[in-house]
Amino acid sequence: MNTKGVDFASDKVLASRFLSEFADANGEAKYINILQDVANHKARSVEIDLDDLMNYKDLDEEFLTRVTENTRRYVGIFADAIDELMPEPTETFVDDDHDILMTQRSDEGTEGADGSDPHQKMPAEIKRFFEVYIKASSKGRPFTIREVAVYTCEDCGFEIYQEVTARIFMPLFECPSRRCVMNKSKGNVILQLRASKFLRFQEAKIQELAEHVPKGHIPRTMTVHLRGELTRKVAPGDVVELSGIFLPIPYVGFRAMRAGLVADTYLEAMSVSHFKKKYEEYELRGDEEEQIKRLAEDGDIYDKLARSLAPEIFGHEDIKKALLLLLVGAPHRQLKDGMKIRGDLHICLMGDPGVAKSQLLKHIINVAPRGVYTTGKGSSGVGLTAAVQKDPVTNEMVLEGGALVLSDMGICAIDEFDKMDESDRTSIHEVMEQQTVSIAKAGITTSLNARAAVLAAANPAWGRYDLRRTPAENINLPPALLSRFDLLWLILDRADMDNDLEMARHVVYVHQNKESPALGFTPLEPSVLRAYISAARRLSPTVPRELEEYIASAYSSIRQEEAKSTTPHSYTTVRTLLSILRISAALARLRFAETVAQSDVDEALRLMQMSKFSLYSDDRQRSGLDAISDIYSILRDEAARSHKMDVNYRDALNWISRKGYSEAQLKECLEEYAALNVWQIHPQTFDIKFIDA
């Protein structure tokens, strides 16, 4: 911008008037209150919003234009204005190193110093204990992609100040003060690190979102410099919107001769806003708290939350419930001796082509506050864990986090899991159980946190599930990896006249109307889902003592069933028991309960059973049993195992639900066999009493 003819002194007066006179919607002096907090050391930064400047009653359009087009210069002008307006502190606070140093200097004074020598005058930047940022206007269209050194002269004894405005600077070797120049003595200067002022600095790289990339192009990247209070506000994997000043970095030295007129560019950030907040950073507003309280009191909230996930995808109700529990997770447990038990759920969706596995993965990544999506063939072991690279700022070897590290405290979705090379897939084993990535490369030996829930999608070994082969042959994943998944969901695409017709109508409706058919309730928005889940994740439910024996016997029966089976569908290990506990705790969190209930354990067992429902239904067809006969067999066997003549209706419903049958089928079975005098049914409770032992 051409600054010829601009009176910066008058602009400083305009800036002072704006800061002192601007009032917010409540009629309070917004910036005076901010300055008072800064004076009381409650805040370290002053953010000037251009929206406030636009709404200022005595707005000067030309002043606003100059601030917008020459922002870097006006950050300093506003800082000078704040120096004059800064009020006296009204509250006591503990002095930090900067306050003590400034007090000492004011007490000592600058006796014998030449007041006219600019090198000996303390700059305003070193006195400031705050930073100034100018936030871009919210009405503007978003685009896609100073420190001070202090020296002391050994000859004249005065302090010399040097302003540093670039990443590198040339230190002083001779004293430039007037006394040393007049005496023609090249005074030796010593850099005083304690007296110098240092600002926190962070360099980050941002990448264009996939939806903003024009066809045929690759995503662009840009370097961002964050200073002061803006540092550590962004982490790898965050989706953010930045406003700042776009500036060049001219080359220096030999590189400048080779580059000619070409220069690097960077964005000096002024404000950072996150699109999706982390669960732990989520602060519920008053209306959100009320809405969540109403939802929690709804007895059908579990089904509604699950059906609100990807409502455009037909069916898969139980799969959506499992994915909901993946988002909620269970609390992490740390034992007294330091051992950790993970709380994140890992789910693998394995099924035939065209059953919407990838769409479910993409939707979960969009709902989750933090998530990374990758594919098997497009990911190497280094790309998933961490790579060693040279830092452009310090020229040191540093670690660049991969997909699993970027999704720390989030979800890592891996599509085409079966297409990965075996050597690359082994890098996931440590992450899934220990939730760390251990590195020993280029002289760097460390462990990185990768507390991520893994959501994988894969096809069976021959593309489609082959019913003539055993489940182990079809799944074709090593047992060490399979046992780490809490749920391995097999989805078979079977021909069914009624189901296919209903699904086709659903797909055509979505294609025409760009929304799902009526669900009987309004699906919850992803923002509401995130708010509900963030509230639920604050709880840490525990398993009561009275449920310990129930869970142990359930696990034992699963092991026995697998031992009897000639073709086991999965590998049951102690990790399966931990999976039951994790799923039960996630269900308790959804109810905002402090303890796990038996219904939570039953639902966890049902989900584990339903994950293999496609195979069980095939086993029943081959055994020649219809649904009613199979339900009778289940009830008879369970009653015989417990040596009881009476069966509670709730227990019966739980047993048949695990095998994939509905309550309507159970009632039909009860009526049919009651007519045959096999059992008697209680008219009110529907409890069952066998007539013949």
Listed in sequence order, the residues at least 6 apart from 277 whose beta carbon sits closer than 8 Å to its beta carbon are: 369, 530
User: Which residues of the chain register pLDDT less than 50?
Assistant: 1-2, 110-112, 146, 619-624
pLDDT of residue 690: 82
Contact between 178 and 191 (Cβ < 8 Å): no
pLDDT of residue 688: 85
Helix (H, G, I), strand (E, B), or coil: what is residue 405?
Answer: helix
Joined tokens for residue 90: 């009204």
Helix (H, G, I), strand (E, B), or coil: what is residue 636?
Answer: helix
pLDDT in tens, 160-172: 777 776 667 777 7
Helices (H), 229-370: 254-259, 286-297, 301-307, 317-328, 357-367
Query: Which among 240, 462, 207, 510 is positioned nearest to 359, based on CA atoms?
Result: 510
Phi, psi of 526 (to 5 degrees): -55, -35
pLDDT of residue 622: 41
| DSSP state at residue 142 | P
User: Which pairs with CB-CB distance under 8 Å and at least 24 residues apart come from 230-237?
Assistant: 230/133, 230/202, 230/269, 230/270, 230/271, 230/272, 231/200, 231/201, 231/202, 232/202, 233/272, 234/204, 234/272, 236/401, 236/405, 236/406, 237/370, 237/372, 237/406, 237/407, 237/408, 237/410
How far is 47 from 104, CA to CA, in rounded Å? 30
Contact between 679 and 691 (Cβ < 8 Å): yes
Contact between 457 and 415 (Cβ < 8 Å): yes
How far is 377 from 555, CA to CA, in rounded Å? 36
Query: Which among 29, 21, 41 is positioned nearest to 90, based on CA atoms?
Result: 41
How far is 48 from 271, CA to CA, in rounded Å? 10
Q: What is the pTM of this model?
A: 0.68
How far is 576 from 490, CA to CA, in rounded Å? 17
How far is 582 from 326, CA to CA, in rounded Å? 10
* Angle at CA of residue 80, ends 11 and 49, nearest 5°: 70
pLDDT in tens, 470-509: 777 777 778 888 888 888 888 887 777 777 888 888 888 8
DSSP letter string over 257-269? Answer: HHHTT--EEEEEE
pLDDT of residue 265: 84
Listed in sequence order, the residues at least 6 apart from 342 whose beta carbon sits closer than 8 Å to its beta carbon are: 332, 433, 435, 451
Query: Which among 47, 150, 31 is positioned nearest to 98, based on CA atoms?
Result: 150
pLDDT of residue 170: 76
Cα–Cα distances in angstroms (integers) from residue 488 to residues 302, 307, 483, 572, 579, in the given order: 21, 20, 9, 12, 11
Q: In the chain, how long is the greatest CA-to-CA distance?
A: 121
Joined tokens for residue 487: 């749920």
Query: Which among 478, 415, 506, 411 is positioned nearest to 450, based on CA atoms?
Result: 411
Joined tokens for residue 568: 């086991």
Label residue 32 exposed, middle or buried (CB < 10 Å: 0-12, 13-18, 19+). middle
